[in-house]
């Protein structure tokens, strides 16, 4: 029989948080597309310049510049992303993993809420109709409750029914 309420204590560690940021930036937002497109554009420009180096005097120089740009742009993107992930993870102080909040899901229209372990009062409450969506990976469920907030549900508690939680979330989301 399906449940109509879930209480999910969220134990979050560095790996869970890093996985979430990578998922959000690379899978959901696909922010790597622009640097990769620029890589191919500069690579093609460099190839053209090297092909024309016998007929155009400065073609080799421009080709070399385009190669450097082709390598620098995506490398810089991924280096910056890695540094940002490490900085944000360090700020969160998630080593060792700790309980960061408890999520409460119910079938009510405003059935998404969470509280902090030390407060035990509702810290945030959201409606199902305003939720942006949910994604499930091998290790977590990400419930995007609005443009600026995501509730992470790492699948690291053997006592929870994550398939049931996922089915419940999907059945309550609009559309």
- Give per-residue pLDDT as tens, 51-95: 999 999 999 999 999 999 999 999 999 999 999 999 999 999 999
pTM of the predicted model as reported, rounded to 2 decimal places: 0.84
Q: What secondary structure, in 3-state letters, does 3-29 show?
A: CCEEEEEEEECHHHHHHHHHHHHHHHC
Residue 119, pLDDT score? 81
Q: What are the φ and ψ backbone dihedral angles of 173, each rounded to 5 degrees?
A: -75, 145
Q: Record the tokens describing residue 68, joined without a space.
A: 């450097």
Residue 2, pLDDT score? 65
Residue 109, pLDDT score? 86
Cα torsion through 20, 24, 27, 28, rounded to 10 = 140
Question: How far is the C-alpha of 169 from the C-alpha of 104, rounded, in Å?
Answer: 11
In percent, how much of the chain has pLDDT > 90? Answer: 89
Q: Which residues of the chain have pLDDT under 50?
A: none
CB 130 within 8 A of CB 145: yes
């Amino acid at each position: 029989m399906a449940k109509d309420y879930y209480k999910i204590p969220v134990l979050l560690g560095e790996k869970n948080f890093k996985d979430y940021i990578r998922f959000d930036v690379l899978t959901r937002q696909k922010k790597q597309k622009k640097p990769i497109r620029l890589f191919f554009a500069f690579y093609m420009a460099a190839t053209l310049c090297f092909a024309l180096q016998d007929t155009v005097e400065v073609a080799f120089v421009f080709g070399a510049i385009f190669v450097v740009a082709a390598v620098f742009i995506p490398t810089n993107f991924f280096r910056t992303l890695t540094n940002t992930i490490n900085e944000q993870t360090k700020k969160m102080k998630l080593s060792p993993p700790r309980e960061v909040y408890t999520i409460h899901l119910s079938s009510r229209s405003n059935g998404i809420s969470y509280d902090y372990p030390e407060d035990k009062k509702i810290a945030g409450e959201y409606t199902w109709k305003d939720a942006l969506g949910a994604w499930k990976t091998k290790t977590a469920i990400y419930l995007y409750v609005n443009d600026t907030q995501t509730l992470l549900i790492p699948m690291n508690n053997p006592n929870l029914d994550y398939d049931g939680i996922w089915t419940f979330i999907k059945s309550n989301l609009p559309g």
